[in-house]
Structure 1
Amino acid sequence: MAKIYNRKGRRQLEKLVALLPGVQDSLDEARFEVAARAEALLLQHRQEGHASIDVEDGDVDKYVVLDDERGKQAALSIEYGRAESVVVRKRKDGSTYLDVMPASDGLFILARAANLPKKRKGKVHLD
């Protein structure tokens, strides 16, 4: 039976194993599958076409990202939804009006693509 000595420390050992070529190849395959499913789900709901699915590499991990930097920067709202909000806007003539943004349910694109449970972000209370 082989013995494993903890000479590098637990974190260093985990990183060493995670960086093995076979492990990284498996992560690449899993990321590709999740990204493909996410892109298909996003295409079903695309309205203006600003949001996109991107993939990124971390030091060890692989990421699938819902990106909306080119549009309204609404990736969080696309994923988790949003509550109704009211914004006061000014017209060119100086008068003001209320612009109501209706509530919308989250699409959970990334959560569904990765087969994760759908969880709405908790409310933040500033007391």
Structure 2
Amino acid sequence: MAEVYDDVSGRKLEKFLATMPGVQAALDEVRFEIAARAEELLLQHRREGHASIDVEDGRVDKYVVLDDERGAKAALSIEYGRAESIVVKEAKDGSTYLDVIPASEGLFILARAANLPKKRKGKVHL
């Protein structure tokens, strides 16, 4: 009877297979295609040009990232949309006022680029 091992050279079989050069090359190709589609979709909606598509390498996985250097969680709002919100702002004369930030629909740039379903999972609190 054959004996099946769940590791190769001390590494889990899945990680061993995932880190093979051919598998990593295939992941690079798919990541490039998704990133190119995501960049094209983002360019169709770009207003001020703050957001960009980046690619990153994990230990095993490859990532396509919607990045927004403003740091105001704008990438999350671009992807999934946002609800209307009211914020308190200060005027130049020192007085305060309420400002309404309108709701916006998500563009689902990454989901569409990767051919994933466009749906929000639960409530997103920004």
Contact 1:50 1:71 in 2 (8 A): no
CA deviation string 1:11-32 (max 9, x = no partner): 7110000000000000000000
Contact 2:6/2:12, CA 8 A, preserved across alignment: no
Aligned to 2:32: 32
More strand by share: 2
Query: What is the TM-score of this pair, normalised by structure 2?
Result: 0.89
Aligned pairs for 1:111-122 within 5 A: 111-122=111-122
Corresponding residue for 1:106? 106
Q: Deviations over 1:16-68 (max 9, x none)?
A: 00000000000000000000000000000000001000000000000000000
User: What does residue 62 of structure 2 align with?
Assistant: 62
Letter in 2 for 1:91: A
Contact 1:56–1:62 under 8 Å retained in 2: yes
1:119 CA displacement: 1.2
Deviation at 1:95, TM superposition (A): 1.2
Identity, in percent, stands at 80
Unpaired segments ≥5 residues, structure 2: none
Displacement after TM superposition at 1:4 (Å): 3.5
Report if aligned partners of 1:54, 1:67 keep a CA contact under 8 Å in 2.
Answer: yes
Distance apart, 1:72 and its partner CA: 4.5
Contact 1:53/1:64 (8 A) holds in 2: yes
Contact 2:38 2:113 in 1 (8 A): yes
In the TM superposition, residue 94 of structure 1 has moved relative to its aligned partner by: 1.7
Task: Say whether 1:78 aligns with 2:99.
Answer: no
Superposition RMSD on alpha carbons, in Å?
Answer: 2.1
Gaps (5+ residues) in structure 1?
Answer: none
Residues 59-117 of structure 1: per-residue CA shift (max 9 Å, x gap): 00000000002465400000000000000111121211111100000000000000000
Aligned AA for 2:36? Answer: A
Amino acid at match of 1:16: F
Equivalent residue runs for 1:5-24 within 5 Å: 5-8=5-8, 12-24=12-24
Tell me which stretches of 4 or more aligned residues in structure 1 moved more than 2 Å: 2-8, 70-73
> Residues 63 and 7 from structure 1, CA distance in 2 versus in 1: closer, same or farther, beyond 3 angstroms?
closer
